[in-house]
Amino acid sequence: MTCDEAQELITALVDHEALDLERSSLEAHLKECARCRFALEEERVLKQAIRGAGQGIRAPSELRDRILSDPRIFPGKSRPVARWQDYVWPIPHLARPAVAVALLLAIALPTFVLLKSRSEPIAIAALETYDLFLRGELPVRGTENSNEIVEQLTRAVGGHFHPMGYDLTAMDLRPVAGLVREIDGRKILVAIYQGKGGTIFCYTFLGSEADAPPNAARFFDASKKMNFYAFSSGGVNAVLHREGEVICILASEMPMEELLALAQSKAKPS
């Protein structure tokens, strides 16, 4: 095998796409060729670097908002307009203003009352801590002792439930701090993981799947027989799932598909 012939096989080897026969002949060549061994190492480094650069690129929040409000994609949001026209169309011209005012009052008043009484979903409210922490505006006592974090958080809720103690060392992430947040009288335990792999927040609280935001995408994991709810807020991706009476939310700036895969791998069926 010549070095030129080896080049494409090196690419395939880096991607774990080489056939058995190709792999064995390439490995024989590599034993003898320092230049190709060097090329193999260089290509591996490059692949990792490109992958890493990609992970830092995320869809801007304005794009996310534009898609969510695009009636061609989420037609549910455009329906009220169509119905409004449907209702008004058969009414004679002169009667239209009066009917419009009456309808506006009929629609606006209950909507106003609903908006006033409806609070932000707890899952969204909890994510505020992520942004505050990254901006250094969240006072937390850092520690590298994960057991200490778990003990402190468990004590804070009188031992009624425990924070999810995930081992994320494989992702180069370690627990660095824990805190307790109270939203609408409900205590939320927050474990913060940081490292070369980025930042992940793990929220734990007592609740049900109804705590997922209404616009979350639901995924059913057939092997675990569990639902996972994916949603985003303020540039942070989050995945919620339930284990018994406990809700766990993993939040991070990492790509949603990777966060979802992480949540699925860590979740334990009730």
Question: By the criterion CB under 8 A, which residues form the site for other proteins?
Answer: 7-8, 10-12, 15, 17, 38, 41-43, 45-47, 49-54, 56-60, 62-64, 66-68, 70, 72-76, 79, 134-136, 215-219, 230, 232, 237, 255-257, 260
- Cβ closest to other proteins, residue 77 vs residue 160: 77
- Smallest gap from residue 87 Cβ to other proteins (A): 15
- Cβ closest to other proteins, residue 80 vs residue 244: 80
Q: What is the largest CA-CA distance in the chain?
A: 92
- Smallest gap from residue 147 Cβ to other proteins (A): 27
Q: According to the 3-state scheme, what is the secondary structure of 153-182?
A: HHHHCCCCCCCCCCCCHHHCEEEEEEEEEE
Distance CA 181, CA 127 (A): 11
- Cβ closest to other proteins, residue 50 vs residue 115: 50
| Distance, first Cα to last Cα, the chain | 56
Residue whose pair of structure tokens reads 């569990």 in the numeric block: 226
- Smallest gap from residue 119 Cβ to other proteins (A): 22
- Smallest gap from residue 217 Cβ to other proteins (A): 3
Q: Within the chain, where are the H helices?
A: 3-14, 20-32, 34-55, 61-68, 79-88, 96-117, 122-134, 146-156, 256-266
- Cβ closest to other proteins, residue 8 vs residue 144: 8
- Cβ closest to other proteins, residue 108 vs residue 210: 210
Residue 100: how many other CB atoms lie within 10 Å:
14
- Cβ closest to other proteins, residue 234 vs residue 244: 234
Distance CA 164, CA 57 (A): 29
Q: Residue 125 — left, alpha, or beta (φ > 0 → left; ψ -120 to 50 → alpha)?
A: alpha
Distance CA 60, CA 67 (A): 11
- Cβ closest to other proteins, residue 135 vs residue 225: 135
DSSP secondary structure of 182-205: EETTEEEEEEEEEETTEEEEEEEE
- Smallest gap from residue 159 Cβ to other proteins (A): 35
- Smallest gap from residue 260 Cβ to other proteins (A): 6
- Smallest gap from residue 98 Cβ to other proteins (A): 28
Distance CA 142, CA 145 (A): 9
Distance CA 50, CA 55 (A): 9
- Smallest gap from residue 247 Cβ to other proteins (A): 19
Residue 15: how many other CB atoms lie within 10 Å:
11
- Cβ closest to other proteins, residue 179 vs residue 238: 238
